[in-house]
């Protein structure tokens, strides 16, 4: 039984795929093992895909690897349709879809390296944490 539900910000995905040494990579390695649930939406998957393809020159991945990663993420993620539009709530309009997804999915956390961009999400019962902080909560750090 999954005890922690999260939404993962794109910056965590990029960091985890750029370096095998950090907490973001360690977190990506745990996806799908049942320790936590990841929640996805069509707009979030499209953003992951778009950003990963733009970052290909900085990643040690091929386009096929990106497609496989996205396919895997979709196979283990909990999909949600989003119909909320409270915008603007956050400082960065691009982060609104993460907040909407996290609320819809009744997540515990938004995992991001930009915690300050999620100021005020506590009113939705959410907390922004870094990958390292999530690993600590999972007891693997």
Please answer whether residues 39 and 99 qualify as being in contact, where contact means their C-beta atoms are separated by less than 8 angstroms.
no
Please answer whether residues 16 and 24 qualify as being in contact, where contact means their C-beta atoms are separated by less than 8 angstroms.
yes
pLDDT for the residue numbered 138: 94
Collapsing DSSP states into helix, strand and coil, what is residue 40?
Answer: strand
pLDDT for the residue numbered 95: 87
Q: What is the pTM of this model?
A: 0.93
pLDDT for the residue numbered 33: 92
pLDDT in tens, 74-94: 999 999 998 766 666 787 778
Mean pLDDT of 97-121: 95
Confidence at 108, pLDDT banded by 50, 70, 90 = very high
Q: Kindly report the CA angle at 2 between 38 and 10, in degrees rounded to 5?
A: 15
How high does pLDDT run on average in the chain? Answer: 93
Confidence at 141, pLDDT banded by 50, 70, 90 = confident
H/E run at residue 7: strand 5-8
Question: Which residue's structure tokens are 């506590």?
Answer: 122
Q: Does domain 5-138 have CATH number 3.40.50.970?
A: no
Mean pLDDT of 1-9: 86
Please answer whether residues 141 and 135 qualify as being in contact, where contact means their C-beta atoms are separated by less than 8 angstroms.
yes
Please answer whether residues 98 and 73 qualify as being in contact, where contact means their C-beta atoms are separated by less than 8 angstroms.
no
Cross-strand bridge partners of residue 8: 111
């Amino acid at each position: 039984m999954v005890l922690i539900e999260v939404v993962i910000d794109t910056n965590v995905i990029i960091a985890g795929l750029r370096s095998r040494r950090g907490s973001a990579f360690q977190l990506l390695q745990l996806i799908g093992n049942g320790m936590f649930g990841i929640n996805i939406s069509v707009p979030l998957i499209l953003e992951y895909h778009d950003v990963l393809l733009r970052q290909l020159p900085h990643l040690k991945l091929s386009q096929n690897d990106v497609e496989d990663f996205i396919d895997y993420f979709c196979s283990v993620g909990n999909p949600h349709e989003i119909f909320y539009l409270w915008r603007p709530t956050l400082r960065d309009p691009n982060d609104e879809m993460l907040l909407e997804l996290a609320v819809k999915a009744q997540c515990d956390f938004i995992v991001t390296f930009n915690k300050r961009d999620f100021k005020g999400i506590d009113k939705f019962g959410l907390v922004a944490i870094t990958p390292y902080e999530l690993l600590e909560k999972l007891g693997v750090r």
